[in-house]
Structures are given as C-alpha cells and as structure tokens.
Structure 1
Amino acid sequence: MTLRDGAWRRQRLADARLYLCTPQRDDLEAFLDTVLAAGVDIVQLRDKDAARTALVRAAETLRVTVERHEALFIVNDDPELAVEVGADGVHVGQDDPSPRDAREVVGDQLMIGRSTHDVGQVSRALKEDCDYFAVGPVHATPTKAGRPPAGLAPVRLAAAVARDKPWFAIGGMAPDTVPEVRAAGARRVVVVRAITDAADPGAAVAQLRAALEG
C-alpha cells in the first residue's frame, strides 16, 4: 500500500496533468472508476449546495476510489472537512480562508491549492503557502457564473514565472480549447463539464489527455 504522506502527494501533484472537479452524483463510484482509469490525476469534490452530511458520504466514496487508483483527492473550500474525511488537500478561493489559515488546520502533510483570476493574484500565489494554484477562468463558464473570463494573460504570466510551483489552467477547458492554453504555456488543466456532462466520460478523458499531450 502506498504511503500517502506529504512527499508522495507533492510528487504525484508534480506529475499530474488532468484535474477534475465534480459534485456528488448518484453514480459517483462508477463514474470515478471510469475517469480515473482513463487518466484523471486529481479529483476535487466541489458541491457548494450540498449539506455537510451528504458531502461527508460522497467524500468517503471519493477517497476510497481515488486511493484505489493512486490519484489525489481534494476538498473544495473547507480545511476542516479535508482533515475529517482524509483528503489529500484542500482548495481555497480568494474569498475562502487564506492558505496560511488553511495550513494551520491541515498541517504540512496535506496540500493546499489556490484560485487565481488575474495577473496580480498569480504573482501573489507564487509567494503564498500553497502547493499549487489554478489560473482562470480562461473562458466564461457557468461553473463560475458572473465571473468575467480572465483570458490568456494570467496563463502566460504563470508559464513565465511559476517554475517550481505546479499550476493549472481552468475555465471552459475542453479538447478544443486545451491547445490554446498549451500554446500559452500551460501543461496542466482543470476540467468540469467536459467530463461530468459527457455521454462517455472515459472517452472525454482520453480526448483531453490527447489534447494535453499533443
């Protein structure tokens, strides 16, 4: 059995290319088995409307399934929940607890991710106590309703300056949009609807991996 300590988690993060955000769903275990086998490296449980008890149940399914595939499991927004359910880390937005505050809760063995939406936030994320950051939304997306697209400028900045800290392009990522963020310097992406809404999630993952790997 793999020792999922901080060193293993951060090496797995460094090797990751494809990060999925998913809400809870009735077929969660089967869905996860499909997409993880097809090439998803990281799964974030993100369901802002769910009750905590439902999130805990979904998190247990997610944790067990992700561990079976030796992938990574991230909880959205809630450092306490990440610790409670045995996640590999927590992802915090600009309006959530700061990375410093999250670190006090999760400790050194769990990872912290950070959302960034413009070049200033990208620059700050490089100095913050986070293990990775996401850049976007590159395109308008209902997942971030009301947030204007950031375009490619923050992606290009991250590509130029984030040499040692992993980062992911996010926002409207799909097989036909991945090539442009790759051209801007991204080698990792966060995906939501292109996988969660796909008629064949495994095939969608394969197409995304092919687009990422060129």
Structure 2
Amino acid sequence: MTVTLTPREQFRTARLYLCTDSRAATGDFEAFVDSVFAAGVDVIQLREKGLEAGAEIALLEVLRAAALRHGRLFAVNDRADVAAAVDAPILHLGQDDLPVPVARRLLGSDVVIGRSTHSPQQFDAAMAESGVDYVCAGPTWTTPTKPGRPAAGVELLEHAAGHSRARPWFAIGGIDLQRLPTVVAAGATRVVVVRAITEAADPAAATREILRHLPAVS
C-alpha cells in the first residue's frame, strides 16, 4: 500500500532548499530544475523580482511539473495570489510581505508557509507566530541576492539552534560548500542555497556534495 504524504509531512524532512531565478541567460530552466530535483534538492523556490504575474505563473507551471515528476516540493516567493494560481504547496513570506493570517485566508490550511527572519527577536517572533510552518534565519553572510542587507552572522544560527524545537528552520545567506561546515557546527541541519548550485559548473554534482555534508533530519 502506497502512503501519500501531505506537503507539510513531506516538508518536515527537507534539508536542502534552493532559490533560483528563471535562468533566462542560459535558457535551461526546465532542464536545470529537473537535474537538481533528481540529485536530491527537496524544495525549489522561483525567486526573480520584477516578473509580471503571467510570466511567473508560466515558469511556476514548469517547476510544478518537474516537482511532481520527482516527488519534490516547490515554493512561491511573496505572492499568495500567484501561489493560489499554480496550486503551490509552499509560500514564502518576508518580514514586510502579506501578513500570514491573510495568506492563510487566501490559501487555506494545507499550504506550508515560511517566514524570513534577520535577528534573534524576529526569529523568536516567527517561531511563535500562528500559521507559520518554517523559519529562515539569515543572511549568515552578505549576499548579492539581498543587496543592502547586513549579515546576521553565525550568532543568529547559534541562537536558532538553541531556542528552536517546534518548527523546522533553515540557515540562509551566502552558504556554499566551503562555509557549510561552519553552518553545521553552529547547529543548522537545513540550508537554503542559491549560487552554490545555480552557478556551479555541474549543479547536480554540487547538490549531491552539499547533501553529503548535511546531517540527517527526522
């Protein structure tokens, strides 16, 4: 008998969460997401500021089909309306995005909702916030994907590891294979990466190597 997990149940064991743009420069979005899903990425979020809703939905339909083929998850950044349009299993919200209760009213109780945090105070508030399923802590290091945002440092990860038990949390921000041991030593077991995979010569090999250095989660 095959047991089908809900997105929330499947998400509980996710370790590697990838954010990628549309890869317009290389024109290989579908092939790229297929390859990294096959290599073990648990979640892919399309994150590209400035896309019109129609263009974003078209890309997300490609991502959704790949996620279904591989039994993985995909996420929408910021926009609950777009998440509803593509039946996304995950919506990720920043500190200044749509309030979580409003997103819940639009999407219902089954969609996994995440929250970005940049300080111990924000992290603790998100962990206690009704309707939030997971929390991202960072950026650990400065990163061009978040221009102007100062690094929160490894100290935020140590705080998260020492104060979090109820919900999954992910380290984020400038994390690559060289920095991964520092992140794991600080207590993180789950990471969000961007350039470590998107700019790798072999994205699938980079995925496998990152996963090899991440602890198992249950």
Structure 2-normalised TM-score? Answer: 0.93
Unaligned runs of 5+ in 2: none
Unaligned runs of 5+ in 1: none
SS for the counterpart of 1:126 is helix
Aligned partners of 1:41, 1:20: CA distance in 2, in Å? 8
| Paired residue total | 211
Tell me the alpha carbon deviations over residues 93-117 of structure 1, each in whole angstroms, 9 at most, x when there is no partner: 0110122221111110111010000
Aligned partners of 1:51, 1:200: CA distance in 2, in Å? 30
Aligned partners of 1:3, 1:103: CA distance in 2, in Å? 26
Tell me the alpha carbon deviations over residues 120-156 of structure 1, each in whole angstroms, 9 at most, x when there is no partner: 0001011112110100000010011100000012211
The match for 2:201 is 199
CA 1:131/1:73 → structure 2, altered by over 3 Å: closer, same or farther?
same
1:113 aligns with 2:111: no
Aligned partners of 2:188, 2:43: CA distance in 1, in Å? 16
SS for the counterpart of 1:44 is strand
1:74 aligns with 2:72: no
The match for 1:190 is 192
The match for 2:94 is 93
**TM-aligned CA deviation for residue 21 of structure 1:** 0.5
The match for 2:13 is 15
The match for 2:210 is 208
Give the conservation status (yes or no) of the 8 Å contact 2:76–2:92.
yes
Q: Percent identity?
A: 48
Aligned partners of 1:84, 1:3: CA distance in 2, in Å? 27
Q: CA RMSD in A?
A: 1.5
Aligned partners of 1:196, 1:119: CA distance in 2, in Å? 29
Give the conservation status (yes or no) of the 8 Å contact 2:43–2:74.
yes
The match for 2:160 is 158
SS for the counterpart of 2:12 is helix
SS for the counterpart of 1:143 is coil
Aligned partners of 1:3, 1:110: CA distance in 2, in Å? 19
Structure 1-normalised TM-score? Answer: 0.94
The match for 2:85 is 84
Aligned partners of 2:42, 2:67: CA distance in 1, in Å? 9
- Work out which of the residue numbers 170, 179, 182 in structure 2 matches 1:180: 182
SS for the counterpart of 1:86 is coil
1:98 maps to amino acid:
P
Farther-moved stretch of structure 1 (182-191 vs 45-54): 45-54
SS for the counterpart of 2:17 is strand
1:12 maps to amino acid:
Q
Aligned partners of 2:20, 2:87: CA distance in 1, in Å? 18
Aligned partners of 2:161, 2:92: CA distance in 1, in Å? 21
The match for 2:147 is 145
Give the conservation status (yes or no) of the 8 Å contact 2:135–2:168.
yes
**TM-aligned CA deviation for residue 3 of structure 1:** 8.5
